[in-house]
């Protein structure tokens, strides 16, 4: 990235001079790299400032369609707030929104999705993997349902690009959002894939301007960010299988040890989950002391990082049927490619000793253990 912040500082749109062309060719190369790794065509990748912008661009593109007869969008209760908030906004502009529920494991019922599609449905917006629980949706089947019904499928793949293989040739995905920082790239840069082969959907620019990005996203490109993101994706894909195995092994060992403590629930345990993510609820504990104790050594939160300051239970966990108190007493642990065995052991020991200490100090836990409290309020999930 460094040369594009210093020496090759030209604007990639300024193709009339060599200074601009150097930056432009770095952007072209990055676009080719990302397209190749996702099995897409170069002209199907539009650079943005991140997944939130990509989501906004994709979803708000249905607005022109909303003035005609078709104005219905289908999404899911466990989507990231980037999707849910845009859907709420679209509702105020006259679009109808169906929010599909999930079961206790975070799974979507595909028959329910099929039944929800009406003649007015323009788009289905379902994420690839959930950012809090790691639960993976069957995007192959969802894409097939949408293609059969003639409905656009937008997939928020922010959590999976660079972590799971994605072959856009093999999936019926029309639009797909991703963010560089989720696969160790820089923050503030991302992309939107727009399927140009099958009945191209007209994507409206969110930012009008100098005609950059095929007229879909105006504004001078973030060249160092784009170069960094493409490089990061190359590294992530190269080592994907070994990292996946490494993280699956860490999560399995972590979960086995915590389950031994008893009265612990792993959210989405029965599901196919993203490597390295584990959402765990601790019975009878209060959310704030739990997080502050764990965060003496770790960096964890109970829901999405961007909403952890709100003090509200996670909408994802609530949608999975957890009560407010249980959702608050839930911690999302994540491991990364740089997590060493030493880090892992320290983290596990810290979590185990913290839970033991918090339980000793908790009146609710003491009552529960003495059998004086049959059910702890707010704990709706089947106990482990
Ligand atoms: C599933 C999902 N979608 C969208 C976003 C938003 O990404 P960004 O903040 O990079 O725009 C995130 C970020 O955490 C995410 O996890």
Do 259 and 190 sit in the same domain of this protein? Answer: no
* 377 within some domain: no
- Phi and psi, residue 270, nearest 5°: -80, -5
Q: Which pLDDT band, with edges at 50, 70 and 90, does 383 fall under?
A: very low
Query: When comparing pLDDT for 71 and 249, which is higher?
Result: 249
As a whole number, mean pLDDT of residues 57-63 equals 91
Which pLDDT score is estimated for 15? 87
314 lines ligand 1 (CB under 6 A): no
Ligand 1 pocket: which of 158, 190, 316 to mutate (most atoms <8 Å of CB)? 158
CATH number of the domain residue 174 falls in: 3.40.640.10
Counting residues of the chain whose pLDDT is more than 70, the rounded percentage is 93
* 32 within some domain: yes
Mean pLDDT, the chain, whole residue set = 92
Residue 87 known to be catalytic: no
pLDDT at 377 over 90: no
Tally of structural domains, the chain: 2
Do 290 and 319 sit in the same domain of this protein? Answer: yes
Choose one of 191, 213, 238: the last residue of a domain: 238
pLDDT at 373 over 70: no
156 lines ligand 1 (CB under 6 A): yes
Do 211 and 255 sit in the same domain of this protein? Answer: no
Q: What is the CA radius of gyration of the chain?
A: 22
Which pLDDT score is estimated for 97? 96
Ligand 1 pocket: which of 47, 131, 232 to mutate (most atoms <8 Å of CB)? 131
Do 225 and 248 sit in the same domain of this protein? Answer: no
CA angle 95, 151, 215 (to 5 degrees): 75
Q: Which atom of ligand 1 is nearest to the CA of 49?
A: 11
Ligand 1 pocket: which of 130, 179, 305, 307 to mutate (most atoms <8 Å of CB)? 179
Give 300-365 as a DSSP string: -BSS-GGGTTS-SPPHHHHHTT--HHHHHTEEEEE--TT--HHHHHHHHHHHHHHHHHHHHH-HHH
CA angle 249, 250, 252 (to 5 degrees): 65
In tens, the pLDDT along 127-152 reads: 999 999 999 999 999 999 999 999 99
CA-based nearest residue to 106, from 130, 125, 126: 130
* 173 within some domain: yes
CATH number of the domain residue 256 falls in: 3.90.1150.10
Ligand 1 center–CA 305 separation, angstroms: 9
Beta bridge partners of 96: 72
- Which residues have C-beta within 8 Å of that of residue 62, sequence separation ≥ 6? 71, 73, 90, 95, 122, 123, 152
How far apart, in whole angstroms, are the C-alpha atoms of residue 110 and residue 146?
Answer: 11
Helix (H, G, I), strand (E, B) or coil at 48: strand
Element (H, E) at 238: helix 223-238
Q: Which of 24-28, 295-299, 375-379 has the lowest mean pLDDT?
A: 375-379
pLDDT at 68 over 70: no
pLDDT at 197 over 90: no
Q: Which atom of ligand 1 is nearest to the CA of 187?
A: 10
Domain encompassing residue 191: 2-238
* 294 within some domain: yes
Q: Is 94 exposed, middle or buried (0-12, 13-18, 19+ CB in 10 A)?
A: exposed
Choose one of 238, 255, 274: the last residue of a domain: 238
CA-based nearest residue to 222, from 52, 8, 12: 12
The alpha carbon of residue 272 and the mean position of all alpha carbons in its chain are separated, in whole angstroms, by 15
Q: How many CB atoms lie within 10 A of CB 312?
A: 14
Please check whether residue 226 is in contact with residue 56, taking contact to mean a CB–CB distance below 8 angstroms: no
191 lines ligand 1 (CB under 6 A): no
How far apart, in whole angstroms, are the C-alpha atoms of residue 80 and residue 78?
Answer: 7
Q: Which pLDDT band, with edges at 50, 70 and 90, does 64 fall under?
A: confident
Q: Token digits for 112?
A: 């329910």
**List 95, 284, 299, 306, catalytic entry:** 306
pLDDT at 85 over 90: yes
Q: Which pLDDT band, with edges at 50, 70 and 90, does 302 fall under?
A: confident
82 lines ligand 1 (CB under 6 A): yes
Do 191 and 218 sit in the same domain of this protein? Answer: yes
Which pLDDT score is estimated for 371? 79
Which strand ranges, in their side-by-side order, compose the sheet holding 96-100? 45-48, 190-194, 175-179, 152-156, 121-125, 72-76, 96-100
Do 221 and 247 sit in the same domain of this protein? Answer: no
48 lines ligand 1 (CB under 6 A): no
* 382 within some domain: no
Ligand 1 center–CA 178 separation, angstroms: 8
Please check whether residue 35 is in contact with residue 85, taking contact to mean a CB–CB distance below 8 angstroms: no
51 lines ligand 1 (CB under 6 A): yes
79 lines ligand 1 (CB under 6 A): no
* 375 within some domain: no
319 lines ligand 1 (CB under 6 A): no
Q: How many CB atoms lie within 10 A of CB 52?
A: 21
Do 288 and 158 sit in the same domain of this protein? Answer: no
Crossing angle of helices 223-238/18-38, nearest 10°? 30
80 lines ligand 1 (CB under 6 A): yes
CA-based nearest residue to 219, from 209, 227, 229: 209
Ligand 1 center–CA 82 separation, angstroms: 7
């Amino acid at each position: 990235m460094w040369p594009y912040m210093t020496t090759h500082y030209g604007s990639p749109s300024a193709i009339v001079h060599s200074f601009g062309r150097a930056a432009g060719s770095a952007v072209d190369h990055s676009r080719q790299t990302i397209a190749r790794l996702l099995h897409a065509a170069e002209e199907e990748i539009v650079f943005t400032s991140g997944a939130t912008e990509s989501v906004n661009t994709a979803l708000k593109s249905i607005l022109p369609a909303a003035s005609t007869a078709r104005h219905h969008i289908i999404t899911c209760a466990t989507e990231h707030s980037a999707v849910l908030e845009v859907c709420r906004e679209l509702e105020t502009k006259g679009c109808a929104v169906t929010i599909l529920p999930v079961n206790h494991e975070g799974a979507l019922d595909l028959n329910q999705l099929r039944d929800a599609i009406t003649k007015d449905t323009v788009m289905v917006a379902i994420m690839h993997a959930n950012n809090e629980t790691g639960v993976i949706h069957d995007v192959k089947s969802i894409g097939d349902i949408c293609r059969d019904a003639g409905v656009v499928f937008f997939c928020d793949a922010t959590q999976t690009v660079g972590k799971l293989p994605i072959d856009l040739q093999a999936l019926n995905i029309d639009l797909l959002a991703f963010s560089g920082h989720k696969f160790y790239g820089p923050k503030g840069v991302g992309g939107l894939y727009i399927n140009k082969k099958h009945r191209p959907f007209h994507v409206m620019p969110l930012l009008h301007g100098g005609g950059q990005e095929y007229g879909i996203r105006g504004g001078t490109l973030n060249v160092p960010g784009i170069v960094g993101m493409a490089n990061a994706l190359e590294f992530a894909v190269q080592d994907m299988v070994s990292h996946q195995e490494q993280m699956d092994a860490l999560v399995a060992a972590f979960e086995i040890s915590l389950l031994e403590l008893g009265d612990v629930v792993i959210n989405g345990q029965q599901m196919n989950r993203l490597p390295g993510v584990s959402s765990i609820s601790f019975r009878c504990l209060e959310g704030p002391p739990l997080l502050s104790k764990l965060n003496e050594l770790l960096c964890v939160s109970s829901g999405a990082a961007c909403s952890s300051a709100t003090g509200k239970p996670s909408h994802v966990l609530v949608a999975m049927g957890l009560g407010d108190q249980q959702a608050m007493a839930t911690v999302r642990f994540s491991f990364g490619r740089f997590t060493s065995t030493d880090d892992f052991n320290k983290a596990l020991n810290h979590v185990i000793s913290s839970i033991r200490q918090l339980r000793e100090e908790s009146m609710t836990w003491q009552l529960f253990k003495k059998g004086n409290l049959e059910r702890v309020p707010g704990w709706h999930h089947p106990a482990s």
